[in-house]
Amino acid sequence: MILLITGVPVKAAGLDDADERLFHVQLAMAEKGDVRAQYYLGEMHEQGLGTRQNLGEAFKWYEKAAEKGDAWAKRKLVHRAEIEAGAKKEQAVENLKTAPAPGKQKTPENTGKNGSATTTSDMMAKAGDATDGAEKIKAVEREKRRAAVRAMILERIRHPVGEPFE
C-alpha cells in the first residue's frame, strides 16, 4: 500500500519526473561503463531530457562512449561544431523572445511613408510573424527528437540483451 501511495505523486507530476528517473537510470548504467548508456546520457544532456541542457556534459559522455567504439558517439563528436552552433542559435532566439519590448516612441526613423508611426516593436512583430512558422516547426522537430530519444532509451531498458540499435 505504501508503494502505491508514494507512486501516485510521481505519476501525477507528469513526464518530467519520468524523464528525470530515466536520466538517473542512464547515469547509473553509464557510470558502470555501459557504452550505450553513455551515449544516451549524452543525448539526454544535449536535448535537456530529464536534466538541464548541457552540451559540455553531453560531449563528455559522447567522448567516453566513442573511446569504447560507439559509432553514434563518434558521429556526434564529428558534428560537434554544428550541434553547438545550433544550440547557440536556439538560445539567441529564446533570449529575443524573453527580452523586454522596446518603447513605442514616434521618431523620424520609424515613421512610415504615409506618416504613420511604426515602432521597433511593430517591426519586430512583423519580422516575428515570418519566423514564427519556422520556430514552430523547429519546436515540433525538437520535441519529436526528444520523444525518439526517450523511446530508444526505454526500449534499451526493456530489452538490455544485445545491441538492437546498431
What's the pLDDT score for residue 129? 58
User: Could you report the per-residue pLDDT of 23-58, keeping only the tens digit for each?
Assistant: 999 999 999 999 999 999 999 999 999 999 999 999
Q: Taken in order 28, 52, 61, 136, is the CA torsion positive or negative?
A: positive
Residues in the chain: 166
3-state per-residue secondary structure call for the chain? CHHHHHHHHHHHHCHHHHHHHHHHHHHHHHHCCCHHHHHHHHHHHHHCCCCCCCHHHHHHHHHHHHHCCCHHHHHHHHCHHHHHHHHHHHHHHHHHHHCCCCCCCCCHHHECCCCCECCHHHHHHHHHHHHHHHHHHHHHHHHHHHHHHHHHHHHHHHCCCCCCCC
* 33: region left, alpha or beta (phi > 0 left; psi from -120 to 50 alpha): left
pLDDT band with cut points at 50, 70 and 90 for residue 15: low
Lowest-confidence pick of 64-73, 83-92, 152-161: 152-161
Q: What is the pTM of this model?
A: 0.64
Among 56, 68, 2, 76, CA closest to 30? 68
